[in-house]
Amino acid sequence: MGIYVRVWHYIKPYSLAIVSALICTILASAVNLYLPKIIGNVIDDVLATKDADTLNLIAGTVILLIVLQGIFMYGQTYLMAYSSQKIIIDIRRDLYQHFQKLSMLFFEKRPIGTIMSYITNDVAALQTALVNNVIDFVNHSVTLVGSIILLLYIDWKLSLLMFVTFPLILYTVNVSGHKVRMKSRTLQERAADITAFLQETILAVKVIKSFSRESYELERFDYENLRNFQAQMKIVQVMAIITPIINILSTIGITAIIWFGGHEVINGNLTSGALISFLVYVINLPTPVKRLSNVYTDVQRALAAAQRIFEVLDIEPEIKDVKDAKELSTVEGHVTFNNVSFAYKPEEQVLTDISFEARSGELIAIVGPSGAGKTTIANLIPRFYDPGDGSISIDNIDIHTVTLQSLREQIGIVPQETILFSGTIYQNIAYGNLDASREEVIAAAKVANAHEFIMEMSDGYETPIGERGAQLSGGQRQRIAIARAVLKNPRILILDEATSALDTESELLVQQALDRLMVGRTSFVIAHRLSTVQRANLILVMEKGKIVERGDHEALVKSDGLYSKLYRLQFSS
């Protein structure tokens, strides 16, 4: 019931349009209910008396009713589709907005395809229930209830024969619907697995081809496809048995009615027209029952999808603004780590008792072997994660006490793996400041050593770069990212292995751009190549989550510690 209440929360704003659609549905169904009564009147009042005038009147009435029914059906279809689409838009928007609030851990624990499946597969299942099933439910409910009332009106004794099998039909529908709901959740999960698999393999297509693993990946896809097929067939198996059971029970009831009703007509207790009308209603009765059973099973599927959606919406962001969080205004960029410890999992400590101070405008280099915790330190500054112990402050203000947006507006990040958006070069640079003028965008590109290659491209700044910047080289993508950071104009800059994946020429151009970008800013540089950190004001040497050495380049080389060892390994030639 809680799921129904939450779905109603989305339906309520469009209740007027939905009610109007339902009224149209009821009126359209009423026309269908009246037609068998007209057939009975024709038999009893027209054919028996050979009254041509009455026949003409009935024929005109039927045509008028069908025209009105067409108008009502248009109204129900349009209004219901409009309402359902608006509801789905609201649900998708809430899901997407909630994804933006969730912490990095949420995305790291789940495949991208699984996350996408919430907005695609699950919402689509809910949409089907809202559009088709609501109309079908009202339409066939009206037909079912109206038919039963008319049957009782025509002959209550015949109606009692129908009620012998009717409860058995309802019981069958209820049991099968419960089973479909349980199996539908499994089906939604299997569909999410396929989406996640496709996302992963499409992004890794170059690796697959380079290792000639097409056949291997096809086998993996066949396995996921088979699991989805098996989940689907379990639902089909339940649904397939409903129709024959309903048909058998309905046929028994109809046969009994024909036998008893025939005797009633023979004995003069019932007219032929009334029996024909009664039989038409009875013969049509299994249709709304079967359709309502299908609606019931579809609704169970939709509820399984809705349950998955609401489970995600109920996840509380681990990183969020504290109560009474303040805005962080323009800062100098004085960053302090005070006894900071951090663990992604309780049993796996990543950082232990990290303390250091970065004064405004200083360059802080963080070096050490892979897995030492360098990137984790960088991720704590913009509060992608919160430390387990200790505190981090900017200009002596604890970053935990300020709003996330105002904190991150002060920080620019240039990662090793450059992430660009599909669109034009101009749009990607302007992402750093959506209010920037074209002159400011071009100036940022010049600072980043990007203007020259941009102007050599077919459409200059309006050149589309493809998904994730596929049309650009690694160095070009990195310079676009630097231009984006320049346009943001942050007081604190984080460079995470920004040049490690580039060739020598591209590295030189990118390094020149970075040198310009770091002027006057507090900068944190994470690097394996020690040649890029030699002029740092402070070098932090990390090992197993701890700072084992600190100082400038000259002092660390002379200390004959880990930094000196790494330096000799890189420059032994």
Q: Which helix (H) or strand (E) holds 357?
A: strand 348-358
Q: What is the pLDDT of residue 502?
A: 59
Mean pLDDT of 520-544: 83
Cα dihedral 170/176/177/178 (nearest 10) = 110
Q: Domains of the chain by range and CATH?
A: 2-312 (1.20.1560.10), 331-410+492-503+524-573 (3.40.50.300), 418-489 (3.40.50.300)
> DSSP letters of 436-470?
--HHHHHHHHHHTT-HHHHHTSTTGGG-B--GGGT
Per-residue pLDDT tens for 285-302? 767 776 777 777 777 777
Tokens coding 305: 């999808």
Number of CB atoms found within 10 A of residue 12's CB: 10
* pLDDT tens digit sequence for 301-359: 777 788 888 888 888 888 888 888 899 888 888 999 999 999 988 778 899 999 999 99
Closest CA to 447 of 486, 489, 504: 486
What would the two tokens of residue 226 be?
A: 């088979």
Across 363-377, average pLDDT: 88
At 244, the pLDDT band (50, 70, 90 cuts) reads confident
Given the DSSP bridges, would you call strands 397-398 and 546-551 parallel, antiparallel or unpaired? unpaired
pTM of the model: 0.71
Express each pLDDT in 459-482 by its tens digit: 899 988 887 777 888 788 888 888
Residue 33 CB neighbour total at 10 angstroms: 17
- Tell me, what's the pLDDT at 330? 81
Mean pLDDT of 237-263: 74
In 102-211, alpha helices (H): 104-109, 112-117, 123-128, 134-154, 156-203, 205-210
